[in-house]
A = this chain, B = another copy of it.
Amino acid sequence: MSQKPIGIFDSGLGGITVLRSLAERFPHESFVYLGDIARLPYGNKSPETIRLYGLQIMRWLKNQDVKAIIIACNSASSVFLGEESFEGIPLFNVIEPGAQAVMKTGARSVAVLGTSATIRSKAYSRTLKELNPKIEVEEISCPLFVPLVEEGETEGIITKAVFDKYLLGLRSQNPEAVILGCTHYPMLKKALQAYLGSEVKLIESGEVLSGLLESLCQEKDSRQIRLCITDLTDHFERLAREFLQGQAIDSLEKVVL
């Protein structure tokens, strides 16, 4: 069991930010990552379509004999919220760990930034209110953030203008904590910290996942990391390397679902 890989999936490459932090935390662990690039983005799709795609991917990961599945995509997590297993395999999403991380900061008010699908689902506010009914939550949909990251616009004039569009009101409120509710957004963390001020605690939901996975992970044996995507272009190869930030992988494969 312990030698089986951990399966991770996302609509695209954003979930690699989660893969990276887990691969650093568990250096002997194997991973299979599936990025559904052919059908990205999920953030503006309906819950029915996202669920259909998610089930298809989880079936594929099950065939890769994974010991756990991590939904490293907030839009997909919002659709599978509260589900703890898929056909007997432990299932983790990125929303519940993010909400738990907010509790640890002691923040009384929190803002959630996410895609249209994630914000529309109200998954974060529901989860946060279950943990602390008194917490104030503001959810802000930022649909241009993913295209910005995909085009490498993580600082500069365009980024600033897009921040002004979505976050001008938030900045004036001096929020205590802000959840980066999309796995692309860690790539904007530096610019967001500068824009919102150094006081605000920015929470990457992926970071907290490692605590939950501890009991499943091994401490010896050699690892293998496979990066599988449903479409392959030069652009995405370049982007994958940026997201990996030096983390080595063993294979990059194109997969047809």
Contact surface of A with B, Cβ cutoff 8 Å:
37-39, 44-46, 49, 116, 143-144, 147-148, 150-151, 153, 157-158, 161-162, 164-165, 231-233, 235-236
Contacts and interface: CB of A to CB of B under 8 A. Distances in A.
Contacts of A233: 44-46, 116
Contacts of A39: 38-39
Contacts of A49: 38, 231
B153 A45 contact: no
Given A44-B233, A44-B236, A45-B231, 20 more contacts: A38-B39, A38-B45, A44-B150, A45-B233, A46-B231, A46-B232, A116-B233, A116-B235, A143-B147, A143-B151, A144-B147, A144-B151, A144-B158, A147-B147, A153-B165, A157-B161, A158-B161, A158-B162, A158-B165, A161-B161
Nearest to A142: B151
Report which residue of A143, A144, A153 has the largest number of chain B beta carbons within 10 angstroms of its beta carbon: A144
A46 B160 CA distance: 31
Contacts of A165: 153, 158
11 contacts: A39-B39, A44-B233, A46-B231, A46-B232, A46-B233, A116-B233, A116-B235, A143-B147, A144-B147, A157-B164, A161-B161
A150 B43 CA distance: 13
A164 to B, nearest CB: 7
A37 to B, nearest CB: 8
Nearest to A38: B49
Contact of A144 (B37, B153, B157): B153
5 nearest A-B pairs in the assembled complex, by CB-CB distance: A147-B147, A158-B161, A157-B161, A49-B231, A161-B161
Nearest to A164: B157
Contacts of A46: 231-233
A235 B143 CA distance: 11
Contacts of A45: 37-38, 231, 233
Nearest to A45: B231
B235 A44 contact: yes
Contacts of A162: 158
